[in-house]
């Protein structure tokens, strides 16, 4: 048994954030029927054999359905009769036009957890505006604090807004399912890329909301602590963190540079940060005489947090990553055995390892429709009319 065995999810979402939320539910046992519109919708849904699609849509059944057709909507309603969760990311006007708003759906299915993910929220001045990850990174302030001080604002190297929003929505869905055990009622769970990324600012946001200090770009250095950042070595870059007096002493001793402890410019946490440019230059001159491996060995022994700046390939080759088993093999109907990421959550008795590959386009349409009570002739008629 997995934690979400017996939970039924209908996924109407496109792009990344919604499907990422549903992937988490599917990994932990939820039965998911993913609904895509007939034809090429572009983006991630366009290529069902791509690495991105395969990684994002494991453990899901897939049907195509034209929700503008009343017969397509009736199929959806049959799916919802047995569903616990509906996930969607339509813009508010689209939901209303299709007759699929929360008010309309909850009246018919009061136990349903209706989960919405959007760019900017379900109401307000930008609620109808489309959004993609990088746009949100800019609007949420993340790009303004990412990059070197002399560089242009820089985006994160991953779809951080999409993935944050997806994980937050999944948590909201689980909260709503837990609450339903007491109340017997579903409810509307909402988040947006903007809300998710603002929340991810965390201590940088608090510098503004509490201290009225607007953060700026500081490159790879920590904005308030030194030495804590990225340093060049004889053969690559290394991250080091010595944020307090105890670790600063350990760092100096491990490097064989005890005289640094007597330098008044570095005597306190505040003085080290105040003189961080000078301190960085001093430390990097030392680091350049050592390889990353040598430094990691010295600093690990001393208990100073450190680690190499890896490429993605090097990250997956890390012995600890291999030990944790973050990659698992599945069999794809076209690409054969491929490796995908498992859930980063571990439990003592239950597993979140993907059980089935992502499906090809329309792969489960006939199976799902027949399970809902449609005859083969009815399915064929809908296919002829491009309803499915």
Active-site annotation, residues? 162
Q: How far apart are CA 388 and CA 385, in angstroms?
A: 8
Q: How far apart are CA 100 and CA 356, in angstroms?
A: 30
Positive or negative, the CA dihedral 282, 283, 284, 290 is: positive
Q: Which of 346, 20, 323 has its CA nearest to residue 193?
A: 20
Q: Which of 138, 162, 140 has its CA nearest to residue 152?
A: 138
Matching residue, tokens 């946001």: 205
Provide the 8-state DSSP code for 8: E
Q: How far apart are CA 125 and CA 39, in angstroms?
A: 32
Concatenate the DSSP letters of all residues of 214-281 into one string: -----TTS-SS-SSEEEEEETTEEEEEE--SHHHHHHHHHHHT-GGGGG-GGGSSHHHHHHTHHHHHH
Give the three-class secondary structure for 381: helix
Burial of 203 (0-12, 13-18, 19+ CB in 10 A): exposed
Q: Which of 23, 19, 12 has its CA nearest to residue 4?
A: 23
Cβ burial 52-62 (10 Å sphere, 16+ → b, else e):
ebbbbbbbbbb
Matching residue, tokens 């054969």: 336
């Amino acid at each position: 048994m997995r934690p979400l065995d017996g939970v039924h999810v209908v996924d109407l979402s496109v792009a990344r954030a919604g499907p990422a939320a549903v992937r988490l539910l599917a990994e932990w046992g939820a039965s998911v029927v993913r609904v895509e519109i007939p034809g090429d919708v572009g983006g991630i849904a366009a290529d069902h054999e791509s690495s991105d699609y395969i990684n994002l849509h494991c453990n899901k059944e897939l049907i195509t359905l034209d929700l503008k057709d009343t017969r397509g909507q009736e199929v959806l309603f049959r799916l919802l009769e047995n569903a616990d969760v509906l996930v969607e990311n339509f813009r508010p006007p689209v939901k209303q036009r299709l007759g699929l708003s929360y008010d309309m759906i909850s009246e018919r299915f009061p136990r349903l957890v209706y989960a919405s993910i959007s760019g900017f929220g379900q109401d307000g001045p930008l609620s109808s505006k489309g959004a993609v990850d990088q746009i949100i990174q800019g609007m949420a302030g993340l790009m303004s604090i990412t990059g070197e001080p002399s560089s242009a604002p820089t985006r994160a190297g991953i779809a951080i807004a999409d993935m944050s929003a997806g994980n937050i929505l999944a948590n909201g869905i689980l909260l709503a399912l837990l609450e339903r055990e007491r109340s017997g009622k579903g409810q509307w769970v909402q988040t947006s890329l903007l809300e998710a990324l603002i929340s991810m600012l965390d201590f940088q946001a608090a510098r503004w909301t509490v201290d009225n200090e607007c953060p700026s770009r500081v490159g790879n250095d920590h904005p308030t602590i030194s030495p804590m950042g990225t340093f060049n070595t004889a053969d690559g870059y290394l991250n080091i963190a010595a944020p307090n007096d105890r670790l600063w002493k350990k760092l100096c001793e491990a490097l064989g540079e005890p005289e640094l402890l007597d330098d008044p410019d570095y005597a306190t946490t505040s003085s080290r940060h105040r003189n961080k440019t000078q301190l960085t230059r001093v430390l990097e001159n030392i680091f350049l005489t050592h390889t990353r491996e040598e430094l990691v060995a010295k600093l690990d022994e001393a208990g100073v947090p450190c680690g190499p700046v890896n490429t993605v390939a090097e990250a997956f080759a890390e012995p600890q990553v291999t030990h944790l088993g973050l990659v698992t093999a599945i069999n794809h109907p076209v690409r054969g055995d491929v490796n995908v990421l498992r859930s980063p959550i571990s439990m003592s008795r239950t597993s979140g390892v993907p059980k089935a590959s992502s499906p090809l386009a329309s792969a489960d349409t006939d199976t799902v429709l027949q399970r809902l009570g449609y005859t083969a002739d009815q399915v064929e008629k809908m296919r002829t009319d491009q309803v499915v």
